[in-house]
């Protein structure tokens, strides 16, 4: 199995890493494909396990389904996956939806604006869909704990949400914070923030809507105590890099701010 060295220990990048565990609540990064493939968008999937209840965050498309199923099953039986969250509609996030519904009893949580598009993923039974309103909401777990849906519209999807886990203090940010690794240089945790900006900048400038949208989002998210930022692509930000990421994002010119540069 492929391994890389982290600041604490060796991380198995195929099986993933437990990011938080207090004995009754775990937040798990579910790893990557062992071999990097040209043209394939690298994606992160996450599992939250709370007193026997499982929640999957952006479990991904058909291509990664076998690996994500295998890694999820190392931590929890699939019959205990009660909730699956999709931050937005992109195929790398949600095109495996029918497969996940076939192997779990989970309810699906995603924006109300994307429910109508699920037919195009072969989804015909809508009884397990729980639409999320524009203002967000939460998943109330049987233990009494909950997860919060934070609006992140236009970052990059027009109807988009992030998930905050109060127990672990981990914020799952979907495509926000994404980085594109050169082949052979992927790493699960941000090492040097200044160097990491180079891996994020191009993606964020093109995919995020505008600086005003970034700042509106930050008005909402600044009230949360965040130990880690876990994006859907690229490396995970530990606490020492969280503020630096927010500072960088607040000054980012992107999308409509640079429209004249795009239409050269």
Tens digits of residue pLDDT in 77-95 = 999 999 999 999 999 999 9
pLDDT at position 82: 98
What is the residue whose two structure tokens read 């690298």? Answer: 42
When mean pLDDT is compared across 3-17, 112-126, 179-193, the lowest value belongs to 3-17
pLDDT score of 118 more than 70: yes
Give dist(CA 21, CA 13) in Å, integer.
18
When mean pLDDT is compared across 5-19, 84-98, 117-131, 181-195, the lowest value belongs to 5-19
Band of the pLDDT at 39, cuts 50, 70, 90?
A: low
Which one, of 140, 135, 143, lies nearest residue 220 by Cα? Answer: 135
**Cβ neighbours around 140 below 10 Å, total:** 10
pLDDT at position 11: 76
More confident residue, 3 or 237: 237
What are the tokens at 34?
């062992």
Compute the C-alpha angle 151/177/64, nearest 5°: 95
When mean pLDDT is compared across 41-45, 126-130, 159-163, 199-203, the lowest value belongs to 41-45
Percentage with pLDDT > 90 across the chain: 86
More confident residue, 35 or 249: 249
pLDDT score of 5 more than 60: no
E-assigned strand segments in 143-222: 146-151, 161-165, 170-172
Which one, of 141, 163, 169, lies nearest residue 151 by Cα? Answer: 163
pTM: 0.94
HEC profile of 91-124: HHHHCCHHHHHHHCCCEEEEECCCHHHHHHHCCC
Give dist(CA 261, CA 107) in Å, integer.
43
Band of the pLDDT at 160, cuts 50, 70, 90?
A: very high
Band of the pLDDT at 35, cuts 50, 70, 90?
A: confident
What are the tokens at 197?
């900006």
Percentage with pLDDT > 70 across the chain: 95
Give dist(CA 107, CA 127) in Å, integer.
9
Mean pLDDT, to the nearest integer, of 180-196?
93
pLDDT at position 10: 64
DSSP per residue, 174-193: TTTT---PPTT---SB---H
């Amino acid at each position: 199995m492929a391994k890389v060295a982290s600041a604490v220990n060796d991380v198995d990048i195929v099986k993933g890493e437990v990011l938080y565990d207090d004995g009754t609540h775990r937040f798990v990064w579910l790893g990557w494909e062992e071999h990097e493939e040209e043209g394939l968008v690298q994606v992160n999937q996450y599992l939250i396990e709370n007193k026997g209840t499982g929640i999957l965050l952006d479990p991904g498309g058909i291509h990664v389904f076998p690996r994500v199923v295998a890694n999820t099953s190392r931590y929890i039986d699939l019959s205990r996956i009660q909730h699956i969250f999709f931050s937005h509609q992109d195929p790398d996030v949600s095109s495996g939806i029918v497969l996940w519904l076939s192997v779990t009893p989970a309810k699906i949580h995603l924006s109300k604006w994307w429910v109508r598009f699920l037919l195009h993923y072969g989804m015909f039974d809508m009884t397990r869909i729980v639409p999320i309103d524009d203002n967000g909401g939460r998943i109330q777990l049987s233990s009494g704990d909950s997860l919060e849906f934070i609006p992140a519209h236009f970052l990059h999807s027009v109807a988009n949400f992030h998930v905050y886990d109060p127990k672990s203090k981990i914020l799952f940010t979907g495509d926000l914070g994404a980085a594109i690794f050169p082949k052979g240089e992927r790493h699960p945790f941000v090492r040097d923030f200044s160097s990491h900006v180079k891996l994020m900048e191009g993606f964020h400038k093109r995919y995020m809507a505008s600086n005003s949208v970034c700042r509106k989002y930050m008005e909402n998210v600044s009230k949360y105590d965040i130990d880690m930022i876990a994006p859907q692509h690229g490396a995970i930000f530990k606490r020492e890099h969280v503020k630096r990421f927010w500072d960088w994002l607040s000054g980012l010119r992107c999308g409509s701010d640079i429209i004249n540069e795009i239409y050269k």
